[in-house]
Structure formats: structure tokens, C-alpha cells
Amino acid sequence: MSHRITGIFNILATPFDADLQVDFASLRHLVTFQIDKGAYGLTILGVLGEAAKLSVDERRQVMEQVVETVNGCIPVIVGTSHNDLKTCIALSRAAVEAGAAGVMIAPPPMQSPSDDQIIGLYSAIADAVDSPIVVQDYPPVNGVIMSADMLAKLAEQIPNARYLKLEDPPLMEKISAIRERTDRFEIFGGLGGMFLLEELRRGASGTMTGFAFTEILVAVFQAFQAENMAEAERIFDHYLPLIRYENQPVINLTIRKELLHRRGAIACPALRPPFAPIDAGTHQEIDWILKRVGIIDPTKKLMFEH
């Protein structure tokens, strides 16, 4: 089944049990949880998915379980980034064969790569994999800066690289810079949804983020799509303290897994090392933030009227 890649994609966490083994029962439950909350699609094995902490075999198993559980009802984008190009291509081919709608790939860490080097990397992947490619622009992970000029050139030269996951601040200025140069990218924001409204106003097609309350971002997006800006602003501004708090640098993944655990989406909030734990004060602040935005029972699906 073919799906359009647009809207609110949840970057799926990878649940672990108390022994830090992949908890496949929780993984399947988390998939159905996100579908129930209205996710337009899932992006798996990204930073929130702790892909770098998984073996290649574990990544394949997670991918197969997610695609099987989704069963074609929404698109699944699989993160297949790897420092070794052959492994990246092998993971990408496996994702396509399993039924993924596309693959998300960031360049591996490189020392001041030229534009031609980066474009050559994506070109080699595109030649080997017949699938939509989501170009992941996230310098904090790999240290690679991709300019608007280079990204526009990449979009013009590689037909299946039509999607961009943009997390290189200032996001809105870069979206506009890319839009001035090419209309061939569907651009997705990130950074926890902190700038979702601004990104949409600049021409983004949606966002890919691990924010634990997917239905909030869905409600904002749908109000925006309906040209009800007042409602989009109202919902976004009301929940912004939670969006902001959850996306704290260093501990954002830990907070998100804690919230998913509180929502009953995963059995255990454990992360594999290295990670930054949260202290008792942060747990209390989470309670405080939820109360401030009116979330009395986080296990319930939040409902919105447009």
C-alpha cells in the first residue's frame, strides 16, 4: 500500500526491559499506541530509537516487528544510517523488502566534507535502493553541515531524495532558504515539535519527533491544515510548557521514555547506556507540568475539537 509521507510522524522509541534487552511486546504495543493517537506515520531507529546502541541484527528485528505490526495502515520510515556505507545499503534494502515506505539517512561523521562528497554518498545509496530517501540534516549527531545550496543541488540530482528531516537551527530560516532554491523537498521539522507552528508557516510538510503526546501535534497540524490558525495557536500555546520541558538537551530521551511509561505505552522506561538519568526533582517537575497543562491522567487520549 502506498502512503503519502506528510504530517505528524512519531519517532518511535525502542523499549528495553529491566535487563536492557529489546522488549518486543512493548514495541508492538507502542506501535498500536501511536496509531491510536493519530500518528500519520512512524519513523523508527532514529536518535530516540537509540539505533546507535543496537546491533545490526537488533535493528533488523525491530524494523520487521514494527512493519509487521503496522500492517500497512500508516507509512513507516526506517532509519538506516551507519558509518559503513555497505551496511547502510544492506539495512536500507532490508527495510524496503520488509515493506517500509522509505529510509532516513544522515551522513556519517566526516571531516569537513565537500558538497560533492555528500551528494556522492546519497547518490550511491539511491543507485542501490529503490525507495524514497529522507535526508536527515542533524549536525549535533554527525557534525556535518549541509548548506541550503547543497541540499537544493542534492534534490535536483537525486530523484528519490525528496524528503528532508531538518534539525539544523535556526530551522525556520533554513526552511525558507531551501524553499527559495527548490520546491522538490517535502520538509519535516523536529526538535521535539518546539517550533511546529513556525515550521508549518514557513512551508514544512509536517514534523518527525518523539514527543510523547502525539495527539497534541496532530491536533495542531490538522487545525493548521484547515486554515484555522487561531485554533492551531490555541492548542500549541496551551501545551507549549510541556513541549518545551520534554525537549531539554541531554535528558530529553529520558523524559520521553518516562512519559511513555506513565502513559502505559511501554512497560519499562529504561535506556541503554550511555544516557543521562533524571533526578527526583525532574520527576516532580513532570508532575507539575502535566498538572499545569491540564493532563490529569496521562494514560488517556487527549481529545480536541476544531
In tens, the pLDDT along 235-286 reads 999 999 999 999 999 999 999 999 999 999 999 999 999 999 999 999 999 9
User: What pLDDT score does 1 carry?
Assistant: 47
Q: Each residue of 252-262: pLDDT tens digit?
A: 999 999 999 99
Instruction: For residue 81, give the C-alpha cell.
Output: 544510517
Residue 231 CB coordination number (10 Å) = 18
Whole-number mean pLDDT of the chain? 95
Q: How far, in Å, CA of 77 to CA of 100, rounded?
A: 6
Distances (CA, A) of 218 to 1, 38, 67, 197, 213: 22, 7, 21, 12, 9
Beta bridge partners of 165: 136, 188
Checking if the pLDDT of 119 tops 50, the result is yes
Q: Each residue of 45-70: pLDDT tens digit?
A: 998 899 999 999 999 999 999 999 99
pLDDT band at 160 (very low <50, low <70, confident <90, very high): very high
% of the chain at pLDDT higher than 70: 99
Q: Each residue of 82-101: pLDDT tens digit?
A: 999 999 999 999 999 999 99
pLDDT band at 234 (very low <50, low <70, confident <90, very high): very high
Element (H, E) at 165: strand 163-166
Instruction: For residue 280, give the C-alpha cell.
Output: 527526583
Q: How far, in Å, CA of 82 to CA of 86, rounded?
A: 9
Taking residues 173-194, what's their average pLDDT? 95
Q: How far, in Å, CA of 139 to CA of 184, rounded?
A: 22
Q: How far, in Å, CA of 33 to CA of 175, rounded?
A: 31
Q: Each residue of 3-31: pLDDT tens digit?
A: 789 999 999 999 999 999 999 999 999 99
Domains in the chain, CATH or no CATH each: 7-292 (3.20.20.70)
Query: Of 20, 18, 33, 105, nearest to 69 (Cα)?
Result: 33
Checking if the pLDDT of 166 tops 70, the result is yes
CA angle, 41 then 43 then 48, to 5°? 135
pLDDT band at 111 (very low <50, low <70, confident <90, very high): confident
Please identify which residue in the block is written with the cell numbers 558538497. Answer: 115
Q: How far, in Å, CA of 46 to CA of 11, rounded?
A: 7
Taking residues 35-49, what's their average pLDDT? 96
Distances (CA, A) of 243 to 5, 217, 264: 23, 10, 19
CA angle, 249 then 270 then 215, to 5°? 65
Provide the phi-psi class of 203: left if phi over 0, else alpha when psi is between -120 and 50, else beta: left
State the chain's maximal CA–CA distance in angstroms: 52
Q: How far, in Å, CA of 33 to CA of 260, rounded?
A: 10
Per the CB < 8 A criterion, the answer to whether 243 and 193 are in contact is: yes
Does the pTM of the predicted model rise above 0.85?
yes
User: What pLDDT score does 3 carry?
Assistant: 76
